[in-house]
Chains A and B, each alone.
Chain A
Amino acid sequence: MSISTDQAEANALPVRHFVRGKLIEGPGTQIPGPAGRPLAVPPLDLDFLVWPRSRPGPAFDLRVEDAIGFLVDLGHELSLERNELLQEVVELLPGVSPFSASMVKGYLELLPGYFEQATLETEVRHAIGAADRWQVYEVGDGAPFAVRACPARLLHIIAGNGPGNAAMAVVRGTLSRSVNLIKLPSNDPFTAIAILRTMSRMAPGHPICESFAAAFWQGGDATVEPVLFSSQYFDKIVAWGGQAAIRNAARYLGPGLELISFDPKTSISMIGRSAHRDDLRDEVATLAASDVSTQLGCTNSRVQFVEGSVDEVDQYCEALVAALQKPRPQVDPARNPTPEAIWQEAEVLGHMQPLYRTWGHHDGTGLVIRSQEPVDFELTARTVNVVPVDHLTAAVRWINLATQTVGIYPPERKAELRDVLAAAGVQRLVPLGSASMVDSGNLGRPHDGMWPLHRLSRWVLDEGVQQ
């Protein structure tokens, strides 16, 4: 007896692999799933998951404008209304994640936004310029040389806490024209497969289709990872989150195999004194609540530093909890109640007025904890920690490498704060209310302090070329 009765009743969810246009499905080994229902995983043939180094990848010579064109066409095919493969994700994903079907729908409806021509062109222009082909440069009086952003061999370990993660891996893998193996996460083994199947149906045998494989194995599987995580097959492991995954991947690094890590992060808000004006308070609270979102993602705000007296901040907290309680798309409180470990801590703190005060409920609709300094525990499920400060700069001591996005109100305050925040580790400042990146991922902009497409490429130099 090793699983609880509430898990044993459920049916297994079918996991599939998709390798260079070929779907691998069928009965498989049952393993425990992340949300109660087990997963059935078909056998994996490692030989199909790699591209031999003896030959260039199928899309290595593709022009980047053709890759963009391909993605734009793919975006058109990824309309949830018309695409039954995505519709199936709506059914399956709630079985492995905290998302309800309507939340999944909401996310999938945003997918075409990742495939828009202008966004993709911006991403390419900023990250590699025109260097998908050889570009000739001259430095001073020296001999001219040529540079090209060459495709690479990529192993993506993607995060499963939003279907957009799979889309981003496909988009950046395609723009770099690399070969790409996607390691599917247990909390979303479905979206990447649906996108690749759509791609393959749209253009069977296309070099880009031939450049992608997606497969599921349990993270850390000793029969898979020591073999695959090797410079024999890949240049770069691209880890899109998950600290255990990043630490695990790091064990295999060595000459010829590097790690590109999108480290796990959380986000915060910084709210200036003007929020306490009676005519602004509710509006500011609404913006702040929008940045809280589901608190499943890295862009979601967990701690809000608010300038003002405790009384002013308490009034703001009341407005905030009211704003959190308003229904919003992509948030389903019933799927995501506050974990016991969090609310039981909050409950005791609530008895320590005036040092601490709490508002709201632990049913997932919103719980606000006001404290003198950030609380010690991790905040999820719409549990927001509000910390009064005399001046926003006083919050800097609690900002670190793991702080991703800072939503600031009023937005004019960003100018005075951005250098000090950047120095403390922050990587993205936005006006309060704009923390979510769901419209187009963050394509065309830096991500985690880098231009990812730039790092996915291998920058090769040809010296002594003719003008």
Chain B
Amino acid sequence: MSESAKSALLDVLNGPDMYGATLGNRDELQLAAATEVAAQRSQQIAVLRQRMADEGITRIAALSDLVPLLFSHTTYKSYPESFVRDGRWRHLGVWLSALSTSPIDVEVDGCQDVDDWLARMHAAGHRVIASSGTSGKCSFLDASPADDDIFARNLPRASAWTLGITTGQNYQAIMVGPREATGRFARAYRAGEQAFAVAGEGAWLSRDPVLVADVNRLGHLRKRVAEGVATPSEIRDAQDEATRRQATAEMEYQALAKAVARVKGGGPAYVQGGWGRIYRLVTTCRELGIEAGGFPTGSVVVGGGGLKGTPVPPDFEAQIAEFFAPAKLANSYGMAECNAPWAQCPAGRFHCPPTTVPLILDKTATKLLSSPGETVAGRYACLDLTVDGRWGGIVSGDHVVAHFGICPCGLGNAPQISSVERYIDLPEGDDKLSCAGTIESYLGGFLADVIGPESE
């Protein structure tokens, strides 16, 4: 069954009903495809090969064999920050190649900065995904053109499935985010614009590129503060820069709010962005006196992502729905490390794409809890069989409730997720006190006080 297993699942993904299909042999197909993919990737990826040797795993005989082979998001930011800071691009390439399925042979002579490096990687067929963390250090995930293609194609398809619509350039699009950024979310927005916007053109929150170097600048400042060499004027400049950015963002939201007012008169609207940003847009609209409701019939709001850096009330989704009424809302569950997202069904649950092997683990990510027919709560991990440029096995920081039976919506037999929380947000006895700590704990508060919270 080996070669056919992954392609059979890919056929379902590419078919008409990837989230609602009933697959009689889903579990067998997924295990067979996992076996096949792991065998292939272990030939290509040095870190995976070593991990399998260390764990004494020669082939995937059961899903539990995947658990010790999963990578975490820290794997993809394990490069020393100095490589980027000091422009040691060759070293950064050596680092990335240990995690990539194809060799990295990219000319880096004269490379100016990290954005230049990313552009060169991109031109050489490595569609490296750079995503910013709260720490100011980016993760770099190698991705092939195939990864980019699957990702860009499937997010609009997931929203369409949830909303019961078809893709097609029929909407007045409001894109609540920057058009040009290296994070995967920006790629998703552009894919949404292409799939739904009239003439493939929407109104954007910003068309100025968001550079990785901007994210890194704060990282450099942190380092300089830690080393005790940052001057007061340097810190004040960073503070001024943060104030400027906030003012610019405010103007951008106001401009986009005016675009929102304009779409009320035309054809159906398509609003896409992170939930936190969409909520901020709604707030700005209200401040400008734009009335809630009255949007064209057939309008939709496609949200996603976390609420990073944006304070929102608990009922933010209801408030967004009320403002954009009668628009329907679509939600999905995904992460930068995976290609196809989980799509929300009429029962409110997220359905697993056929090419994702979900693994629900204990909190420490060492034990597989999930098995067929059960409902189980734990840490979300998966093997995304479609991931092509690197290993698709990843552990998330999310605590989910997953269901491995038939969904109440009655559509197909995909596993579902009904609740997602980040472990970092769960109550865990936060006053566990220790006398141990590094200079980082001194800087976090200082820089937050001076510059404000870091955001995406």
Question: Does A297 belong to the interface (CB within 8 Å)?
Answer: yes
Task: Give Cα A296 to B432, complex, Å.
Answer: 12
Task: Give Cα A398 to B196, complex, Å.
Answer: 52
Number of interface residues of B (CB under 8 A): 56
Q: Is the CB of A1 within 8 A of B433?
A: no
Q: Is the CB of B432 within 8 A of A160?
A: yes
Knowing A5-B377, A348-B47, A351-B47, the reply to whether A218 touches B431 (Cβ < 8 A) is yes
- The interface residues of chain A, by DSSP majority, are classed as loop
- Shortest CB-to-CB span from B11 to chain A, Å, is 33
Q: Which of B426-448 contact A (CB under 8 A)?
A: 426-442, 444-445
Q: Which of A352-381 contact B (CB under 8 A)?
A: 352, 355, 371, 373, 375-378
Provide the residues of chain A in CB contact with B421, threshold 8 Å.
2
Q: Is the CB of A185 within 8 A of B431?
A: yes
Question: Does A161 belong to the interface (CB within 8 Å)?
Answer: yes
Q: Which of B80-102 contact A (CB under 8 A)?
A: 80-82, 91, 94-95, 98-99
Question: Does B43 belong to the interface (CB within 8 Å)?
Answer: no
Q: Chain B, 98-110, contact with A by CB distance < 8 Å: what is the 0/1 string? A: 1100000000000
Question: Does A349 belong to the interface (CB within 8 Å)?
Answer: yes
Which of B72, B94, B378 is within 8 Å of A340, CB to CB? B72
- Which has the most chain A C-beta neighbours within 10 Å: B75, B395, B432? B432
Knowing A243-B445, A347-B75, A400-B226, the reply to whether A298 touches B430 (Cβ < 8 A) is no
Question: Does B150 belong to the interface (CB within 8 Å)?
Answer: no
Residue of A nearest to B437 (CB): A264
Task: Give Cα A33 to B363, complex, Å.
Answer: 14
Q: Chain A, 230-249, contact with B by CB distance < 8 Å: what is the 0/1 string? A: 00000000001111110100
Number of interface residues of A (CB under 8 A): 69
Q: Is the CB of A220 within 8 A of B378?
A: no
- Shortest CB-to-CB span from A5 to chain B, Å, is 5
Q: Chain B, 41-79, contact with A by CB distance < 8 Å: what is the 0/1 string? A: 000001100110000000000000000000110110111
Task: Give Cα A244 to B378, complex, Å.
Answer: 27
Q: Is the CB of B379 within 8 A of A4?
A: yes
Q: Is the CB of B363 within 8 A of A265?
A: no
Provide the residues of chain A in CB contact with B78, threshold 8 Å.
344-349
Q: Is the CB of A266 within 8 A of B437?
A: yes
Which of B98, B427, B433 is within 8 Å of A240, CB to CB? B433
Knowing A5-B369, A5-B376, A262-B435, the reply to whether A348 touches B440 (Cβ < 8 A) is no
Task: Give Cα A4 to B320, complex, Å.
Answer: 30
Task: Give Cα A350 to B98, complex, Å.
Answer: 10
Q: Is the CB of B47 within 8 A of A32?
A: no
Q: Is the CB of B362 within 8 A of A6?
A: yes
Task: Give Cα A347 to B70, complex, Å.
Answer: 12
Residue of B nearest to A161 (CB): B434
Question: Does A46 belong to the interface (CB within 8 Å)?
Answer: no
Q: Chain A, 38-60, contact with B by CB distance < 8 Å: what is the 0/1 string? A: 01000000000000000000000
Task: Give Cα A375 to B438, complex, Å.
Answer: 13
Task: Give Cα A400 to B94, complex, Å.
Answer: 31
Question: Does B137 belong to the interface (CB within 8 Å)?
Answer: yes
Q: Is the CB of B80 within 8 A of A34?
A: no
Knowing A6-B362, A344-B72, A371-B80, the reply to whether A161 touches B377 (Cβ < 8 A) is no
Task: Give Cα A376 to B99, complex, Å.
Answer: 19
Knowing A1-B377, A373-B82, A376-B81, the reply to whether A32 touches B429 (Cβ < 8 A) is yes
Q: List 21 A-B contacts (CB under 8 A).
A: A2-B421, A2-B426, A4-B362, A5-B369, A31-B427, A32-B428, A34-B428, A220-B431, A241-B437, A242-B431, A242-B433, A243-B442, A243-B444, A298-B435, A298-B436, A344-B74, A347-B47, A348-B99, A351-B98, A373-B80, A376-B80
> Chain A residues in contact with chain B, CB under 8 A?
1-7, 31-35, 39, 96, 157-162, 165, 185-187, 218-220, 240-245, 247, 262-266, 295-298, 300, 340-342, 344-352, 355, 371, 373, 375-378, 397-398, 400-402, 424
Q: Supply 8 further A-B pairs (C-beta < 8 A) apart from A6-B378, A35-B429, A400-B226.
A: A4-B362, A158-B433, A186-B431, A241-B433, A297-B434, A298-B437, A401-B442, A424-B228
